[in-house]
Amino acid sequence: MTYLRDLGSGLLGSLRVMSRNKVGFAGLIITFVIVLTSLLSPYFVHMEMTANLDAIYQGPSAQNWLGTDYQGRDIFKQILLGGREVIYVAFLAGILSCGIGVAFGALAAILGGWFDTIATAAAELVITIPQYPLLLVLAGFIRLNSPIGLAFIIASISWGGLMLAIRAQVFSLKERDYVQAARALGLPTSHLLLKEIIPNMMSYILTNLVMRMTNAIYGQVGLIFLGVVPMAQNNWGVMYSLANRQGAIFGVNSAWYIMAPIFAIALLQFGMINMNRSLEELFNPRLRRGE
Amino acid sequence: MATLQAQPSARSGKEISTMLRKFFKNYYLRRTLKAVASVFVVTTLTFFLIRLMPGNPLDIYVASQMQTLGVSREEAEVMASSIFQIDLKRPVLLQYTDYLTGLLHGDFGLSIVSARTPVSALILRFLPWTMFVVSVSLILSFVLGVLIGTLMAYRRNTWVDYFFTGFSSILTAIPDFMVATLIIVYFGVRWKVFSVTGVRGSLTPGMVPGWRFDFFIDAFYHAALPIITYVITSIGNWMLQMRSSTMATLGEDYVMVAKARGLSEGRITSGYVGRNAILPLFTTLAIMIGGMFGGSVLIESVFTYNGIGIKLASALGARDYPVMQAVFIIITAATVTANLFADFLYGWLDPRIRTEGR
């Protein structure tokens, strides 16, 4: 019970710190609302997928809050349902690329020697090659058809920068007194890494995860727009690319169809980018003002 | 006797190794080697993807030719060889070296889709437009970003600062090709500032390239929207970086000394603050160039601007592998060269970087 109470008060304290930065806190709330609705709405919202040719490109009304698309289907419902896959791919790609970056960076700094040389060279190479064309070519050669494959490809090209940063941080952290003390106690390297070093980089890793997720959103929506990744489900990227193909930009009412997914993606990214500011304040007390 | 003879040779051996080490510690040489190595790895990767990966396009092409044209495997392989610029009869290792020599001679094979045109001809036709748009945008956004960033630092916590901070934090949230769509929807369709169909392509049909005024006007007219998109999506990065860098520089001792010497405000801003504050921005120049070349695929597709990016997009859609790999190699080479140039510029501007690790 006391454990639960501690956890609760800890969370409340964190929220209080995070709420100090107004824009950052707004970002946190926006992100949470969008992620929650996107994850939950598939269980509540029912989408009529058959075409209704009498109601093509209707403007917003009480029935269709954001109007209808080129087949007369409700846009608002598509927005509610279309976020889940985008967030899923972004999260998976973010976790994977952070995982690779942290593992390689930490191991390179700890092991040194040839592993360090090779891993560093690989990371520098990944950074040098322009990411988006590489992503396109990989996605073009390796025929993708699942969100997981897409996440893997996005992750495989975006770990370089984080790896180098983590390597540099571990190099500096492993010489700190508390790490040296733990080493003197004879604790194994895995303990040093997992219990002493990585927890101290958690804030950096977490903010990086969010940045990587926004990059993954850009990557996947772009790939879907270019038609490299066939996705049939409700998805903001698919909406955007369909709206482009159907020429939705040319009408006043039809513009809602293309504006809706753009607005949804922009709002999510805006939330995530600003949420990072609050996270940074939470983890880095030096940034806090007036305490 | 033997020891006497050995000594000088040992010393010269040591001298050679220190000379070699000094040679490789050279900043410019190290950067150049790295650039060459990355282009080399990229070409090797594309060779692997095309030739060796299971289910690679070459095997698929041979199989489809055998099926649709009813030719023997041998004939189909000869056709594939001419298109992919890889002679399938030779051992794989020689195929690889042939492929590399072909690339060095600018031989990228033939396009599958565009009526057997040499890929190199396609690249020569489309690449200059992308280079034009990317370089103009980069210079514009850098210069404007640095100026606005300096202004923000000098007027920090005023409405100027808040306005531009808000502007950049909203624009970084929207992917650049969606900004392009927004420009078309609002400025093109709704407010009719420009004609949506008129700005398509890289030139008005019938316009002949030449050193004439109307040609340049036309080229800029068609390039204006991609340039505006690049500038407003990348300027935020320069502004915010310049803002924080300038604020850090303002506290430096040499700025204080300059003020104490009674130098004019303008001289301090440009000669003492600006010159030093701008240096860290060059480290992100490389990333921005890569991002712009990469983003060209999407931005050119939205505006139907005839550059190398839209070529890559259409090659992807049509699975035109020779074009895909060639454009990819060219974009990589262009980015790596631009990075190298940025590195040299940075090393020239900031000697501390050049002599690091000596």
The answer to whether the Cβ–Cβ distance between B173 and A226 falls below 8 Å is no
- CA nearest to B181 within chain A: A249
pTM: 0.85
Contacts with B194 (C-beta within 8 Å, 6 or more apart), sequence order? B187, B188, B225
pLDDT of A38 reads 93
Which one is predicted more confidently, A119 or A48? A119
pLDDT of A291 reads 41
| Model confidence at B32: pLDDT above 50 | yes
What residues in A contact B49, CB-CB < 8 Å?
Answer: 137-138, 141
pLDDT of B4 reads 47
State the Cα–Cα distance between residues A50 and A52, nearest whole angstrom: 6
Q: In this complex, how many residue pairs, one in chain A and one in chain B, have their CB atoms less than 8 Å apart?
A: 129
The answer to whether the Cβ–Cβ distance between B298 and A125 falls below 8 Å is no
CATH class of B129-355: mainly alpha
Long-range contacts of B65-69 (CB under 8 A, 24+ apart): none
pLDDT of B228 reads 95
pLDDT band at B353 (very low <50, low <70, confident <90, very high): confident
Mean pLDDT of all residues in A256-274 = 92
- CA nearest to A130 within chain B: B290
Using CB atoms, pick whichever of B184, B325, B339 lies closest to residue A249: B184
- A202 C-beta neighbours (distance < 10 Å), count: 10
pLDDT digits (tens, 9 = 90+) for A58-106: 778 877 778 888 777 888 888 999 899 999 999 999 999 999 999 999 9
Model ipTM over 0.95: no
Amino acid at A165: A
Percentage of chain B exceeding pLDDT 90 = 23
pLDDT of A260 reads 92
pLDDT digits (tens, 9 = 90+) for B288-347: 888 888 889 999 999 999 999 999 988 887 878 888 888 888 888 888 888 888 888 888
pLDDT of A287 reads 64
Mean pLDDT of all residues in B270-288 = 85
pLDDT band at B53 (very low <50, low <70, confident <90, very high): low
pLDDT of B232 reads 92
Do residues B270 and B203 lie in contact, with contact meaning Cβ atoms separated by under 8 Å? no
Which of helix, strand or coil describes residue B195?
coil
Angle at B94 between CA B91 and CA B95, to 5 degrees: 80
Angle between the N-to-C axes of helices A236-245 and A198-225, in degrees from 0 to 180, rounded to the nearest 10: 20
pLDDT digits (tens, 9 = 90+) for B155-214: 988 999 999 988 888 888 899 999 999 999 888 888 888 888 778 888 887 777 778 888
Q: In a 10 Å sphere around its CB, with 0-12 CB exposed, 13-18 middle and 19+ buried, how is residue B57 labelled?
A: buried
The answer to whether the Cβ–Cβ distance between A140 and B324 falls below 8 Å is yes
Question: How close does chain B come to A147, measured CA to CA in Å?
Answer: 19
The residue ranges of every structural domain in chain A are 86-214
pLDDT of A87 reads 94
pLDDT digits (tens, 9 = 90+) for B101-120: 888 888 887 887 776 688 88
Question: How close does chain A come to B334, measured CA to CA in Å?
Answer: 10
The residue ranges of every structural domain in chain B are 129-355
DSSP string, A231-261: --S--HHHHHHHHHHTTGGGSTTTHHHHHHH
Using CB atoms, pick whichever of B294, B319, B336 lies closest to residue A131: B294
| Model confidence at B48: pLDDT above 70 | yes
Mutation target to probe the B interface, by most B beta carbons within 10 A, among A118, A224, A226, A241 is A226
pLDDT band at B64 (very low <50, low <70, confident <90, very high): confident
| Model confidence at B8: pLDDT above 80 | no
State the Cα–Cα distance between residues B26 and B20, nearest whole angstrom: 10
pLDDT of B2 reads 45
The answer to whether the Cβ–Cβ distance between B41 and A125 falls below 8 Å is yes
pLDDT of B163 reads 93
Do residues B323 and B122 lie in contact, with contact meaning Cβ atoms separated by under 8 Å? yes
The answer to whether the Cβ–Cβ distance between A140 and B319 falls below 8 Å is yes
pLDDT digits (tens, 9 = 90+) for A133-191: 888 888 877 777 788 888 999 999 889 889 999 999 998 888 888 888 888 888 888 88
Residue B272 DSSP code? I
What residues in A contact B196, CB-CB < 8 Å?
Answer: 249-250
Lowest-pLDDT choice from A218-222, B18-22, B32-36, B61-65: B18-22
Mean pLDDT of all residues in B251-255 = 88
Question: How close does chain B come to A132, measured CA to CA in Å?
Answer: 5
The chain-wide mean pLDDT, for chain B, equals: 84
Q: Which of A220, A275, A269, A258 is nearest to A88 (CA)?
A: A220
* Distances from the Cα of A139 to the Cα of A96, A266, B232, angstroms: 17, 24, 28
| Model confidence at A193: pLDDT above 90 | no
pLDDT band at A37 (very low <50, low <70, confident <90, very high): very high
Using CB atoms, pick whichever of A138, A262, A273 lies closest to residue B172: A273
Mutation target to probe the B interface, by most B beta carbons within 10 A, among A224, A249, A252 is A249
pLDDT band at A1 (very low <50, low <70, confident <90, very high): low
The answer to whether the Cβ–Cβ distance between B169 and A131 falls below 8 Å is no
